[in-house]
Amino acid sequence: MSRLLGGTLERVCKAVLLLCLLHFLVAVILYFDVYAQHLAFFSRFSIRSPARALYPAASSSTNCSRPNATASSSGLPEVSSARPGPTAPVIPPCPDVPPGLVGRVVIEFTSPMPLERVQRENPGVLLGGRYTPPDCTPAQTVAVIIPFRHREHHLRYWLHYLHPMLRRQRLRYGIYVINQHGEETFNRAKLLNIGFLEALKEDATYDCFIFSDVDLVPMDDRNLYRCGDQPRHFAIAMDKFGFRLPYASYFGGVSGLSKAQFLRINGFPNEYWGWGGEDDDIFNRISLTGMKISRPDVRIGRYRMIKHDRDKHNEPNPQRFNKIQNTKMSMKWDGIGSVRYRVLEVSRQPLFTNITVDIGRPMSWLNQG
């Protein structure tokens, strides 16, 4: 009996031991399973939390304001990878001495000179005869004023030689041909006053004015068409006068004044009808205001004149000497403030701006001095 009881007890103990062992194994398995789940749970928070802190808008509601947007695969907002565009280059000021000057230029007036050829030679010149150098910023804006009538042949040569020269000088400029309408006596100085006013109407930034006869061509591009501290006389050595000044006070042909200088002398006289006298009157006005005339070196101030027959309506004014003696009085009332004219046409050509004007006619009492 006791032996039977002992065997039964032994089997029960083994069963309990196996049950305990099975419980232990289940507990171990459950323990590691729960541990793994906790580890994955915390690791998920440790990865996503910084992203949410840096990009608080990264959620399923982000694209509500952008219905056509495409979400990124990471769930984070898309960051533009576009680089900033290039900044505009800074254009340096033009040098005082342009590097492309050639010096002495061979001038001849025998070859045919159609305007189409001149236009092909100057592709950078804009409509109206405007030009700005592309590689530097000029200090001045120059208006070149040409008094004109019946000189188309001369104008073609002038444009042929002057446009390349002015471009080499790195000038920002415009060419204005002031054409006197009709066949009345020619009035050069009045046309120059009109050119000053009309150029400023087109571009108020003009601060330098070069007044040039259409039949004079410079022989050296170092004769820079700029304005300085004093009025400047450019054509100081013309072949017509043996490449020297005809007299010390001569101020004809080609001259330049800044806007301030021009206004200071009240512009040019309006009542010099016919040839001669107005240049001497302008010289007197400059002297009376205390300014001095500057001139280039005689070696670079040479000009060639295109020969022509004198206009029958541009004969010398016999009263011009009396007028010159009265410059001190006349410059107060006769000048830029008193000029009267009527613009008939403004035509912007490929190489110049043509302004045709009616300037009236001389009055008999004015011709009496």
Q: Give the dihedral sign, CA 214/218/223/224.
A: positive
Euclidean distance between CA atoms 218 and 147, whole angstroms: 17
Contact assessment for residue 223 and residue 300, using Cβ atoms and an 8 Å cutoff: yes
Euclidean distance between CA atoms 38 and 277, whole angstroms: 110
Ramachandran angles phi, psi of 260, nearest 5°? -65, -40
Euclidean distance between CA atoms 369 and 317, whole angstroms: 10
The distance from CA 133 to its chain's CA centroid, rounded to whole angstroms, is 7
For residue 67, give the amino acid letter: P
Overall size of the chain counted in residues? 369
Contact assessment for residue 179 and residue 148, using Cβ atoms and an 8 Å cutoff: yes
Tokens for 175?
């060419």
Residues contacting residue 254 through CB under 8 Å, at least 6 positions apart: 210, 211, 212, 213, 216, 218, 233, 234, 235, 303
Residues contacting residue 142 through CB under 8 Å, at least 6 positions apart: 166, 171, 172, 173, 174, 206, 208, 209, 210, 225, 226, 227
Which residues share a beta bridge with 334? none
CB atoms under 10 Å from CB of 47, counted, come to: 9
Contact assessment for residue 323 and residue 177, using Cβ atoms and an 8 Å cutoff: no
**Which residues have a catalytic role annotated?**
213, 215, 275, 278-279, 305, 308, 310
Q: Which of 368, 325, 327, 367 is nearest to 187 (CA)?
A: 367
For residue 55, give the amino acid letter: Y
What b-and-e string marks burial along 209-246, b requiring 16 or more CB atoms within 10 Å of the CB?
A: bbbbbbbbbbbbbbbbbbbeeebbbbbbbbeebebebe
